[in-house]
């Protein structure tokens, strides 16, 4: 049963258990998945692997165009950024060793190029966090195939090493399973907040802890101010991005001081429009690629489809809270959250 009050949908089940709950058994992921893929070569039996260009995944729609090495070197060496675009890259200091998280998108690609332009030594990392065999039928192509193609093309242009880190098990255990459990209980945590805290700047830092990186960087729209001081008083402060519309500090709000003090966000000092402009000036192979939308691990899959897959559906009724009038039926309270207006299947709206 669900009560609708104003624009707030308050849903609850009339049964103790949903008969269509699906198993939450954690899938077992191998380092290289047995789905006819030869994309990765294992290195030293670690979670970090180096991408190989040839693979047998389903046909990719990626159209990344990579010029000859001579053309790449000439274009990269000719491009010099305006100094104002390097303000969030710690310019003017000694050469830093930076681990850069790349996704194949424009933002992380521009962040990588800016750090290289600032004179830092960069290593790029692509996090492979979601590939579950029993979820494969939702995708028309490998969800990470196109992303990795673009990421490698961008890294090749500047001669930056690209490594792939497998964190599928960590992501399932620390983000996906938790989200499913919370949704079953009527709570709606944000998966991207959890991903940043527990995976991108959590499990990933554990994987590379033996490598002496000065900072970890990504293409987030945020800015971290590292204030001076001794070991006890030195703090790092998370600030809003220069682009208040694209700002992503909300998704970084759970980061600890230990995490923040290791982070750099090169795009925090500029707008999305400026990032697109720089991508065109750099001649990036993904300069015209659309921004990704939605939850990071789902790709093009709708969140409602994911919920239906892992929790199921259980029909209930919608009532007007003030009058008790019957308004319609819902698919299960876990499909809704407070303040939601879409997906209620009410022709006249809430």
Active-site annotation, residues = 195, 296
Beta-bridge partner residues of 165: 48, 127
Q: Measured between alpha carbons, how far is 52 from 44 in angstroms, rounded to an integer?
A: 16
| Phi, psi of 217, rounded to the nearest 5 degrees | -125, 155
User: Which residue reads 């790092």 in tokens?
Assistant: 236
Query: 3-class DSSP state for residue 52?
Result: coil
Whose CA is closest to 336, among 10, 21, 4?
A: 10
Whose CA is closest to 176, among 60, 284, 296, 61?
A: 296
Task: Provide the greatest CA pair distance for the chain.
Answer: 73
Q: Measured between alpha carbons, how far is 213 from 223 in angstroms, rounded to an integer?
A: 19
């Amino acid at each position: 049963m669900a009560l609708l009050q104003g624009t707030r949908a308050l849903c609850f089940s009339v049964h103790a258990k949903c008969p269509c709950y699906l198993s939450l058994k954690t899938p077992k992921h191998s380092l290289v998945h047995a789905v006819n893929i030869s994309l990765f070569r294992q290195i030293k039996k670690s979670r970090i692997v180096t991408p190989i260009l040839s693979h047998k995944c389903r046909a990719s729609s990626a159209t990344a165009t990579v010029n000859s090495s001579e053309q790449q070197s000439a274009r990269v060496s000719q491009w010099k950024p305006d100094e104002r675009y390097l303000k969030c890259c710690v310019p003017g200091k000694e050469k830093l060793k930076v681990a850069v998280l790349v996704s194949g998108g424009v933002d992380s690609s521009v962040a990588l190029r800016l750090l290289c332009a600032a004179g830092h030594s960069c290593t790029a990392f692509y996090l492979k966090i979601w590939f579950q065999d029993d979820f494969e039928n939702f995708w028309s192509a490998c969800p990470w195939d196109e992303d990795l193609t673009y990421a490698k093309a961008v890294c090749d242009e500047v001669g930056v090493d690209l490594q792939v880190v497998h964190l599928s098990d960590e992501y399932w255990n620390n983000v996906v399973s938790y989200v499913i459990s919370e949704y079953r209980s009527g709570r709606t945590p944000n998966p991207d907040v959890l991903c940043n805290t527990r995976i991108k700047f959590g499990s990933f830092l554990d994987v590379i802890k033996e490598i002496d990186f000065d900072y970890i960087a990504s293409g987030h729209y945020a800015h971290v101010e590292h204030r001076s001081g001794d070991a006890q008083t030195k703090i790092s402060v998370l600030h809003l991005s220069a682009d208040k519309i694209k700002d992503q500090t909300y998704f970084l709000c759970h980061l600890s001081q230990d995490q923040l003090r290791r982070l750099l966000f090169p795009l925090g000092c500029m707008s999305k429009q400026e990032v697109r402009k720089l991508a065109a000036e750099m001649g990036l192979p993904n300069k015209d690629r659309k921004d990704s939308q939605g939850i990071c691990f789902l790709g093009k899959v709708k969140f409602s489809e994911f919920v239906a897959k892992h929790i199921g559906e259980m029909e209930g009724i919608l009532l007007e809270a003030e009058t008790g009038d019957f308004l319609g039926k819902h698919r299960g309270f876990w499909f809704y959250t407070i303040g939601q207006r879409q997906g209620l299947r009410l022709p006249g709206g809430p």
